Amino acid sequence: MKNNFFDFLESRGFIHQSTNKESIKKLLKEDICTGYIGFDCTSDSLHVGSLLPLMVLRNFQKFGHKPIILVGGGTTLIGDPSGKDETRKILTKEEIDNNKKKLKKIFEKFVYFDEKQSNCAIIVDNYDWLMKLKFIPFLREVGSKFSVNKMINLESSKIRLEREQHLSFLEFNYSILQAYDFVELSNKFKCKIQFGGSDQWGNIISGIELAKKMINTTLFGVTTPLITTSTGQKMGKTANGAVWLSKDKLKISDFWQFWRNTSDSDVFRFLSYFTDLESKEIDNLRNSNKNINELKIILANEVTKLCHSEEGSKNAEKEASILLTKGNIDISTIENCEKKISIDEKILNKSFSLKEALIKLQLSSSNGESKRLISQGAVKLNENVIVNKDELINVDMFKTISKENDKKYLIIYVGKKKYGIIELIN
């Protein structure tokens, strides 16, 4: 199985660029090859734009190899200019340490860290060696190996300069530090290959060239493609912001719904990228009689199960099915619904507007957006379309769940795919 890892990556569409393909294939025939991906700690969560590199590491380990996750406690203090039009916000050491702790919880969902296994994943932090560097010796030993001409032509620098946008000397040094990381990991852990997004190609090549000059070692690199949807939109960005992998930043039901809303033409591509389904299983689905909506549910379930849990995936599917398909509700649905508020009957008597309810349920971001949605006929209370922008919610709108339970509820729908529940408290 190990011998086929590069072929697996190619067959699933994971490879954008690579250094010597045949040499990498030979390298991956070793019992255990060590490879890494770096993640800076600019946030306390990753978003789905980082999901493809994570899946590379996951499959790398499944094929018997050893993944290193490099968290950039040091490089985050600098800021990677790649893919950015402006300087990143400079974070404090405390903010970075807090982000690192939360990111580890995400990594644990994709790779295992069981030290009893010879190919267990490890997490290392480049803060441990970068902060020990002395400026003049580093310039002499490492800086002397870099050409400013080449550094200026790196994509990350080139775009900023062409647009006459600010590129600080601090950020300009980022590629040197990332290159040095690769050399350090080669020395410490015999790491031979670096994976990364397509925007990291220049930095990866810099590391490979530095290793050749400093320690006379040949290293390798593979990049994954920039994932865009069929509409050309960058993966991980929506009108409502980033699609986070942490449930603290994005509700599991919203995460599930993001995948359920995948464009028809992206479904099989995303099944190949973002799920553990075998290629044969995906081919069988392609040749099955399942309609596209059934396939989207499979995609949503598989990705949500991987990034959160099987229970979270099942709850999200059940909630969506009950509310959006059947139009009714049970106690379990209310208890598990993530977009839910409870309101005292007395407050309703003092006037509680539909506009306010939409905002509280995070179905709208402002009064203006609420008015627009209502006037467009996109909002329903239970099964009734509402067009009055000043609609007030009253007790008569609430329904009792069953004869055995006197709970009362109101479902607010926005379009065909968004909803929230208001529970009435006596």
Amino acid identity, position 410: L
Predicted pLDDT at 239 = 54
> What letter does residue 130 receive in the DSSP assignment?
H
Q: Are strands 122-125 and 193-197 parallel, antiparallel or unpaired?
A: unpaired
Q: Which two tokens stand for residue 10?
A: 């190619």
d(Cα 100, Cα 262) in Å, to the nearest integer? 30
Nearest Cα residue to 122 out of 73, 74, 70, 75: 70
pLDDT over 50 at 421, yes or no: yes
Cα–Cα distances in Å, from 42 out to 237, 242, 246, 253?
17, 14, 14, 25
Domains of the chain, CATH where assigned = 2-224 (3.40.50.620), 251-326 (1.10.240.10), 333-425 (3.10.290.10)
Confidence of residue 321 (pLDDT cuts 50, 70, 90): confident
Predicted pLDDT at 288 = 92
Confidence of residue 404 (pLDDT cuts 50, 70, 90): low
> What letter does residue 233 receive in the DSSP assignment?
P
What would the mean pLDDT of 280-299 be, rounded to a whole number? 93
Residue 399: CA count within 13 A, CB half-sphere: 16
Predicted pLDDT at 344 = 84
Yes or no: say if 79 and 88 are a contact pair by the CB < 8 Å rule: yes
Residue, of 171 and 264, whose pLDDT is higher: 264
Q: Which two tokens stand for residue 75?
A: 């490089």
d(Cα 104, Cα 97) in Å, to the nearest integer? 11
Nearest Cα residue to 14 out of 185, 270, 193: 270
In the sheet that 122-125 helps form, which strands lie side by side, from edge to edge?
Answer: 17-18, 220-224, 193-197, 34-40, 66-72, 122-125
Q: Which two tokens stand for residue 91?
A: 């974070």
pLDDT over 50 at 304, yes or no: yes
Predicted pLDDT at 287 = 93
Predicted pLDDT at 371 = 92
Predicted pLDDT at 3 = 54
Q: What is the pLDDT of residues 101-113, one digit of tens each?
A: 999 999 999 999 9
Of all helices (H) and strands (E), which one includes residue 413? strand 405-414
Residue 320 has φ and ψ, to the nearest 5°, of: -65, -40
Q: What is the pLDDT of residues 119-133, one digit of tens each?
A: 999 999 999 999 999
d(Cα 123, Cα 47) in Å, to the nearest integer? 19
**Quick one: what percent of the chain has pLDDT higher than 90?**
50
d(Cα 409, Cα 342) in Å, to the nearest integer? 9
Yes or no: say if 152 and 161 are a contact pair by the CB < 8 Å rule: yes
Give the distance, in angstroms, between the CA of residue 348 and the centroid of all CA atoms in the same chain.
39
pLDDT over 70 at 50, yes or no: yes
Amino acid identity, position 233: Q
Confidence of residue 418 (pLDDT cuts 50, 70, 90): confident
d(Cα 215, Cα 186) in Å, to the nearest integer? 9
The DSSP bridge partners found for residue 220 are 193
Instruction: Give alpha helix (H) positions in 142-251.
Output: 148-152, 155-162, 169-172, 174-189, 201-215
Q: Quickly count: other Cβ atoms within 10 Å of residue 7's Cβ.
A: 11
What would the mean pLDDT of 184-196 be, rounded to a whole number? 96
Residue 78: CA count within 13 A, CB half-sphere: 23
Q: Quick one: angle between helices 51-62 and 267-274, nearest 10? A: 50
**First CA to last CA across the chain, in angstroms?**
62
What would the mean pLDDT of 408-422 be, rounded to a whole number? 84
pLDDT over 60 at 83, yes or no: no
pLDDT over 50 at 85, yes or no: no
Please calculate the CA angle 392-393-399 and round it to the nearest 5 degrees. 155
**Quick one: what percent of the chain has pLDDT higher than 70?**
87
Please calculate the CA angle 317-319-320 and round it to the nearest 5 degrees. 65
Burial of 390 (0-12, 13-18, 19+ CB in 10 A): exposed
d(Cα 401, Cα 6) in Å, to the nearest integer? 54
Residue, of 331 and 134, whose pLDDT is higher: 134
Among 325-329, 377-381, 399-403, the range scoring the smallest mean pLDDT is 325-329
d(Cα 115, Cα 176) in Å, to the nearest integer? 32
Average confidence score pLDDT of the chain: 86
d(Cα 199, Cα 351) in Å, to the nearest integer? 52
> What letter does residue 88 receive in the DSSP assignment?
P
Yes or no: say if 175 and 206 are a contact pair by the CB < 8 Å rule: yes
What would the mean pLDDT of 342-349 be, rounded to a whole number? 80
Confidence of residue 1 (pLDDT cuts 50, 70, 90): very low
Nearest Cα residue to 414 out of 392, 391, 381: 381
Q: What is the pLDDT of residues 210-248, one digit of tens each?
A: 999 999 999 999 999 988 877 677 776 665 578 999 999
Predicted pLDDT at 160 = 63
Yes or no: say if 260 and 116 are a contact pair by the CB < 8 Å rule: no
Predicted pLDDT at 172 = 77
> What letter does residue 321 receive in the DSSP assignment?
I
